[in-house]
Amino acid sequence: MNALIGAETRMLNERYAAGGEAAVSEEIARRIQEPRLPRLFYLLVDAQGRKIGGNLAHWPERLGQREEWAGVRHSLRGWIDSAEDVDFVGSSTQFAGGERLLVARHYQDISEYLRLTLTVLTQTMLTTIVLGSVGAVVQVLITERRLRQVNRSITDILGGELSRRIPVTGGHPDDDYTRLIVNFNHMLDRIAQLMEGLKQLSDNIAHDLRTPLTRLRNNLASLELDERGETREQVAGLIEESDALLATFNALLRIAQIESGNKRLAFAATDLATILRDVCEFYEPLAADKDQQVRLDLPAVCAGSFDRDLLFQAFANLLDNAIKYAPPGAHIDVRLTEEAQQHCVAVCDDGPGIPQAEREKVFQRFYRVEGSRSLHPGNGLGLSLVQAVINLHGGSVTLGDNSPGLRVSVILPRLPAA
């Protein structure tokens, strides 16, 4: 407000310099009549205090004669050209010829101006807050959508879709989120290259070794044996060892194929209960040779989307281990239960079990529990294959204590039959 009165005073000073008191009086009269200009009080008096022009009747007594800014709470009745009582703030100045000029403004106008300014500021702040809140909500929604997209992609990758990448959409190419996704995809590409190289190396080794082993085995089988039993027994032993090595390499290749995720193409509508019945029926003669009893607790039907051959092999490995390590006369239980979102399979025996410290290690390739190497032949790949098959189906396999014996728990998600 001081700036407005100061500007008005300077402008009238310029008019005085250009045309004297007459020019100032004329300009004051024009400005009083101009409705588009701010409402101001003017008073121009001569050196003796007589009014020359303006809309004030006489010079305020409390203002004095010197140049100054003043805020005066004073009744102007009788010296303003109306009967209105007002308070004002103004500035006075004295010209070179002794004339004095007063430019003032209503406190009411100032209050109105301040109220309007406060209203504008309040509305601006509210608008800023609303727009900022809307912008924040929109940004949060965009971020959540991006994170859900990232989470879905990562879940698919963990589920075996190693070629899946996180799409780079909805962001500026140079923002932090986009750069993060691009770098993450580059990392996945590099990991995929390393895994592919390792897989290729493993496949090459397995194929390169399987070929000469197969040839060795066939050559041993085709030897013309002499009449000595020792030679016949030695060749039979070599053939048996060759078969064991071939079985090991075939198991390695099988696990590699399963872990690559390509076997998902064989998923189809399958009855899990039928698979378990077939496995138990297949191994029943082997259990009978050790006077073991295989007990089933299965529902009539348990339909879902599975790879039948892989699950048959996985549960066959579990049942084979139970029969192999449980003592004669043992009981082996195979149970299947259904829950809201999953199938639960348990294979339990009352054999020696596996120490808790080694239950995670037995899923590693070629790992075997101490004490079992000399008692039971094997290559340490059976449980590795089981875990690979169950992981392919999106499930889990854990080992627990059956008190006594071992409890193998397999959880498979309930997938709709294809």
Identify which of 275, 295, 249 has the alpha carbon closest to the alpha carbon of residue 393: 275
Which of 211, 215, 218 has its CA nearest to residue 249? Answer: 211
Instruction: Record the pTM.
Output: 0.51
Residue 383 has pLDDT above 50, yes or no: yes
Are 317 and 383 contacting, i.e. CB atoms less than 8 angstroms apart? yes
**CA 140, 142, 147, 148 torsion: positive or negative?**
positive
pLDDT in tens, 139-153: 888 888 878 888 888
Domains of the chain: residue spans and CATH: 2-111 (3.30.450.20), 176-259 (1.10.287), 264-413 (3.30.565.10)
DSSP string, 157-172: HHTT-TT------SS-
Residue with token string 């016949």: 232
| Residues whose CB is less than 8 angstroms from the CB of residue 289 and which lie 6 or more positions away in sequence, other chains included | none
Give the CA radius of gyration of the chain: 49
3-state secondary structure of 173: coil
What DSSP state is assigned to residue 106?
E
340: confidence class by pLDDT, cuts 50, 70, 90 = confident
Cβ neighbourhood burial of 88 (10 Å; 0-12, 13-18, 19+): buried
Tokens of 194: 């390393």
Q: What would the pLDDT profile of 65-120 be if each residue is shown by its tens digit?
A: 555 554 444 444 444 444 455 566 777 888 888 888 888 877 666 566 667 788 88
Q: How far is CA 324 from its chain centroid?
A: 46
